[in-house]
Structure 1
Amino acid sequence: METEVLARIQFAFTVAFHYIYPPLSIGLGLLMVIFESIYLRTRNPEYHALAKFWTKIFALTFGIGVVTGIVMEFEFGTNWAVYSRYVGDVFGSALAAEGIFAFALESGFLGVLLFGWNRVKPWVHLVATVGVFLGSMFSAIWIVVANSWQQTPAGFHIVGEGLQARAEITDFWAMVFNPSSVDRLLHVWLGAFLAGAFLVLSVHAYYLLKGRFMQISQKAFKIALVVATIFSLGQLLTGHHSADGVAKNQPAKLAALEGHFEASAPADMYLLGWVDKDKQTVTGIKVPGGLSYLLEYDTEVPVTGLNAFPEDERPPQVNAVFQFYHIMVAIGMALILLTLLACYQWGRGRLFQKRWLLWAFVFAVLLPQIANQAGWFAAEMGRQPWVVYGLLRTSDAFSQSVTENQILFSLILFFLVYALLLVLFLYLLHKKIHHGPYDEEPGEGRPRTREIAEMLTKN
């Protein structure tokens, strides 16, 4: 296997595994803020128990996320030396901003969040919770800004030539607010909120099905359902706006996402299908003129297709890009339907009587994660053959001195270590979920911890 392909596989594997955890941290951070805010307003100890319980799970996801993310920085230097030199000025600025605005905020409040429950006043602890949540969101800002700059470069000029060429920032804010950064950031944030909300929905649906922690789980489920409904609908809007930006700034990627080959012709929108790159056909279920209508509100407006670009400037894996994109869209629609159906049952007073619906939420925890992964794969594979769109090809970006055997050996080691981390994460997550928000009295499912008893006495 070629060195470039192995390097890409290694980076894709490490990034995909790492990205399981940051969305959960961001999404759980939002729910933690909501639970703790409701507790401060109502002094209901159940919301205090929810905030503490989900803080423990947040700490687990946060810790694993930090550990798995460190590897990527070393891969830039070992496997992608040319790329590192080319984008060093841009990424250096963005990652420095992440350290100042995100890591400093998170690290400053994390200790209070985890260990300050009985040591600081409740409002101070809420401030710490909000600080950690905002820190995780700020971290996403600078990572997405850096990646978006690769998609739609702005605010820079090129210094040097050949392998010594590199991009230097001429306008920091133009780099930050490049043409795709805001749309992509909103889309990433909402995907993270959905990942966290559906984890909460899954766990408390499971408790309800097993007859455990009934009262507290009903409260948590309803709150998480509201969050999931709002942001699943919002994801539809941000996704549409992001697609408009891709049509304007990366037309070759849009053509690959929809399997549109004709250089300039009205484009159909496929609900599902299979792309034959050699025959330049798509077999599947389509809405005639649907893509043209979504972009210009006219089914007859021509859309730029793959044949408008030279062969070596088109995404090489068109069918893969098409499939990943449509998986993301299909899951997004499924989440909207599932949450709206649950809201309908809630309105009729039958939300917790539908066991099949609760089971659906138990397993739906996987859907936002799959959609997040599929969306990133579609975005990154759709950018090919460019690692910096229109400027630096992926084939020119990897290290010339690294060998196939070196990458293969490190890939195997990463796989083993990450597999161990995944098993550890699932074991600890299962242990915390099995224990629950607090101890329960046999057969009743009511709290009996000393802490909650004391709080009830005080209130």
Structure 2
Amino acid sequence: MDALDLARWQFGITTVYHFLFVPLTIGLSVIVASLQTAWQVTGRADLLRATRFFGNLYLVNTAMGVVTGVVQEFQFGMNWSSYSTFVGDVFGAPLALEALLAFFLEATFLGLWMFGWDKLPRRVHLATIWAAAIGSNLSAYFILSANAWMRHPVGFEVDPVSGRARMTDLAAVLTNPQAVSTYVHVVTASFVVAGLFVVAVSAYRLLRHPDTDRPLFRTTLRTGLVVTTLAGVIIVGSGDHQAKLMHEYEPMKLAAAEAHWETGEYAGFSLFAIGDLTERRNVIDIAVTPVLSFLATGSMDGEVRGINNLQAEFQQKFGPGDYVPNVPVLYWAFRLMMGLGLAGVGVGIVGLFLTRKGREPAPWAYRVAMLGLPAALAANICGWILTEMGRQPWTVVGELLTAASVSPGVSLGEVAFSLAAFTAVYAALAVVEGRILWRYVKAGPAPAPVDPEAATPAPAVSY
């Protein structure tokens, strides 16, 4: 093991940890804003209490997302300075837009929302949470456009003197087809996570405290189920589009995710495979023909290039080397992403059916509903593992190898120390956040104020 291996582990761990909070922040901001809008329109006290209750949970999660995101950015200079040198002139614009426009928009108006309950007029206060939600979603777009550029670099040229990528077309970077499609897919997945978070919290309160605030949590339960179902419908379409973009721009990732070794028409979607990585073939492969061809090309007889053919093609194009990513990891990450994601969406669909027209589901249904949240979070993590490991051995596809991206002066011991330190700190933060969220959920929503226009409800939990 060398510094490169540990640097990859460190970035992977911090990215996965950070992304536990990002989708919840993106989706929950809009749900909280929608609950406050409903209170503004109807004047119902239970909707105000629901807004404050889930707003507290949203604030805790947002704080953790900011902290873990800052730590993640440190690594660009610590472990990946060669990568930063190459991409800096391209990434500067979208990341500056994210920080100066989206993040400051989100942070400023979120602060106004937090402290403005008894100071701002209702409509102005409502506008602040919507501005924060818009900022959160804009932030996601700028970050994802930078990530998409790594998978499909556009709007740049390599300086022949410095060897650095230099942006030539900002619009091309921001309208990269990979960026647009990835944004739709990631944001809808975020709404699935946020919807199932609201479902899980509401289901817990209805199961453990059936006589406390039942109408309130019945409303939020249905809200979460609707959000999950609607986002699930969109995510199926965006996932299909992602598969077609993989076929066009990242054929090796698609082939590895399907353990598809040889180029051919009428390619089957693999349900279960056991492969021989030495011989680069499948020993067992249970597949449904021609589903893969249809998903990748839109045609039943569409040709899908195989790993072996692509490896030969890339060697001819880029020179000697192994251009095959980790096939077992991609294969199972792809299936877990789809399986767990669809299970989470299934919770939304079945839950809407079981709670229709005021019906009361059985206790087991609430327990299953609570399991939808970890399933959706795991699906999101598997999706990012597929995205990032599927790009290997490149950090910027066709331009910069991962092996050439690591900081030249960083030793194995230095990376090991920072990896251990980050892991310990993140573990502590996970315990802290988990306890805070759990206390808020167990305590339930605070009582409604007598005059919502002028009074601030007492906090749900005192420290």
2:358 is equivalent to residue 358 of structure 1? no
Compared CA separation, residues 209 and 282, structure 1 to 2 (3 A)? farther
Aligned counterparts, 1:209-228, within 5 A: 209-210=207-208, 211=210, 212-228=212-228
The CA distance in 2 between the partners of 1:272 and 1:220, in whole Å, is 39
Q: Which residue identity is paired with 1:424?
A: V
Name the structure 2 match of 1:48: 48
C-alpha separation in 2, matches of 1:71 and 1:206? 33
- 1:397 maps onto 2:398 in alignment: no
**Secondary structure, aligned partner of 1:336:** helix
Find the aligned partners of 1:299 and 1:92 in 2 and give their Cα distance. Answer: 42
- What stretches of structure 2 of length at least 5 have no aligned partner? 313-320, 456-463
Give the count of matched residue pairs: 444
1:235-314 to 2 correspondence within 5 Å?
235-279=235-279, 280-281=281-282, 283-310=284-311, 312-314=321-323
Structure 2 residue corresponding to 1:424, chosen from 432, 441, 458: 432
Secondary structure, counterpart of 1:266 in structure 2: coil
From 423, 439, 442, give the equivalent of 1:434: 442
Cα contact 1:159–1:165 (8 A) shared by 2: yes
Q: Normalized against structure 2, the TM-score is what? A: 0.92
Asked if the contact 2:192/2:345 (under 8 Å) is kept, the reply is no
Query: Is the contact between residue 156 and residue 166 of structure 2 (CA under 8 Å) also seen in structure 1?
Result: yes
Give the drift of 1:347. Answer: 3.1
CA contact (8 A) 1:276 1:319 kept: no
**Does 1:95 pair with 2:103?**
no
Name which of 446, 449, 452 aligns with 2:449.
452
SS in 2 for 1:399: coil
Query: 1: CA distance between counterparts of 2:290 and 2:96?
Result: 45
Equivalent residues in 2 for 1:26-105, closer than 5 Å: 26-105=26-105
Distance between the aligned counterparts of 1:229 and 1:375, measured in 2? 19
Q: Which residue of 1 aligns with 2:179?
A: 181
Deviation at 1:293, TM superposition (A): 2.2
Match for 2:184: what amino acid? L
Q: What are the equivalent positions in structure 2 for 1:115-154 lying under 5 Å apart?
A: 115-154=115-154
Note closer, same or farther for the CA distance 1:97–1:261 as it changes in structure 2 (3 Å cut). Answer: same
Contact 1:236/1:332 (8 A) holds in 2: no
Query: Within 1, Cα distance between the matches of 2:409 and 2:160?
Result: 21
1:315 Cα deviation after fit? 2.8
3-state secondary structure, aligned to 2:246: helix
RMSD between superposed Cα atoms in Å: 1.8
Q: Please give the alpha-carbon distance, in whole angstroms, between the structure 1 residues aligned to 2:99 and 2:453.
A: 41
Rounded Cα–Cα distance in structure 1 between residues aligned with 2:296 and 2:225:
31
CA pair 113-303 structure 1, distance change in 2 beyond 3 A: same
Task: State how far apart, in whole Å, the 1-side matches of 2:56 and 2:186 are.
Answer: 24
CA distance in 1, matches of 2:283, 2:439: 47
**How far does the alpha carbon of each residue in 1:8-39 deviate from its partner, in whole angstroms, 9 at most, with x for none?**
00110111111111111111101101100100
Give how far 1:265 is off. Answer: 4.0
- 2:422 is matched with 414
Change in CA separation of 1:408 and 1:219 when aligned onto 2, cut-off 3 Å: same
d(CA) in 2 for partners of 1:213 and 1:284? Answer: 52
TM-score (norm 1): 0.93
Residues 275 and 318, structure 1, Cα contact 8 Å, conserved in 2: no
Q: 1:126 to 1:457 in 2, by over 3 A?
A: closer
| Letter of the structure 2 residue corresponding to residue 112 of structure 1 | L
Q: Equivalent residue of 2:355, what SS?
A: helix
The secondary structure found in structure 2 opposite 1:291 is helix
Provide the C-alpha distance between the structure 2 equivalents of 1:50 and 1:282, rounded to a whole number of angstroms.
54
One-letter amino acid matched to 1:259: A
- Given that residues 264 and 308 in structure 1 are in contact (C-alpha distance below 8 angstroms), is that contact kept between their aligned partners in structure 2? no
2:345 to 336, 342, 350: 336
Q: Deviations over 1:144-188 (max 9, x none)?
A: 000000000000000136xx4111010110111123110001111
Distance in 2, matches of 1:95 and 1:453, equals 45
Percentage of pairs with the same residue: 32
Bigger drift between 309-318 and 195-204 goes to: 309-318
C-alpha contact 2:273 2:282 (8 A) present in aligned 1: no
Partner of 2:382: 374
- The Cα of 1:297 is off from its aligned counterpart by 4.3
Shift of 1:111: 1.6
- Describe the SS at the equivalent of 2:239: helix
Query: What is the deviation of 1:244?
Result: 0.5
Q: Deviations over 1:225-272 (max 9, x none)?
A: 111100011111101011111101111111011110003343210234
Q: From the superposition, tell whether residues 357 and 284 of structure 1 become closer, same or farther in structure 2 (CA, over 3 Å).
A: farther
Cα distance between partner residues in 2 of 1:153 and 1:325: 23
* Counterpart secondary structure, 1:390: coil
Question: Partner residue of 2:2?
Answer: 2
SS in 1 for 2:177: coil
Question: In structure 2, what is the Cα distance between the partners aligned to 1:299 and 1:457?
Answer: 63
Give deviations 1:362-406, integer Å, cap 9, x for gaps: 121111211111001001111111110011100111111111011
